[in-house]
Amino acid sequence: MSLQTQLEQGLLALGTGLPAAARQRLLDYAALLDKWNKTYRLTAVHDPSLAVSHHLLDSLAVLPFLPSFAAATLLDVGSGGGMPGIPLAIARPEMRVVLLDSSSKKTAFLRQVVIELRLTNIAVHCGRVEAYQPATRFDAITARAFSDLADLVKLSSHLLQTDGHWLAMKGIRPQDEIARLPDDVRVDGVHRLDVPGVAGERHLVVMSSCCSGL
């Protein structure tokens, strides 16, 4: 099955309709990821036949949980090869997205993707999340491969709007990590994500601050 067919069938299964231009950009992104991954080891998945399921559809499964208003802002922490930030930015071109990673080789790749695919709603920042000091906070913060939920909220709390949400992507339900969250962080939901073509468990932990001072 071609990657294009995989993507079209996967989007249908997710109930996500995207215009043809967005679908082509997603496939172009997957091609760039495969090309660069051969040299820079951007992701642990090296089989190009898994790019649609494990990268594109896995990222797009988060779409229903993003802020719905047009001017929303999103920070993708530890973006690595650009997941989930790049697929979400392609699907939501009106949303402003910042991809943050401490690896210069990974942010070099992310900047190349932004240039080649003309993704004008994406900015890339190289640095550690705890040292990042943007002019404004974000409506949502995503993370796909961050080590621990408590570390994520501790290191990025200064970057989240008062009424914003963390959207942390995990494999199996991270009950132990949830139990270690600080008292001033509320778990708004733990959602099982059914990603077409991905056999293992996928969960999204949605969190917010219990107080305005966080």
Known binding-site positions: 78, 83, 101-103, 129-130, 144
Q: Output the CA torsion sign for 123, 49, 103, 176.
A: positive
What residue numbers does the annotated binding site for S-adenosyl-L-methionine cover? 78, 83, 101-103, 129-130, 144
| Runs of H (alpha helix) within 41-123 | 51, 58-60, 85-91, 104-117
| Identity of the residue numbered 20 | A
Q: Position 121: which residue type?
A: N
Asked if residue 11 lies in contact with residue 17, where contact means CB atoms within 8 angstroms, the answer is: yes
Reduced DSSP (H G I as helix, E B as strand, rest coil) percent helix, strand, coil of the chain, to 5: 40, 20, 35
Q: Which helix (H) or strand (E) holds 7?
A: helix 3-14
Spatial separation of the C-alpha atoms in residues 213 and 211, rounded to whole Å: 6
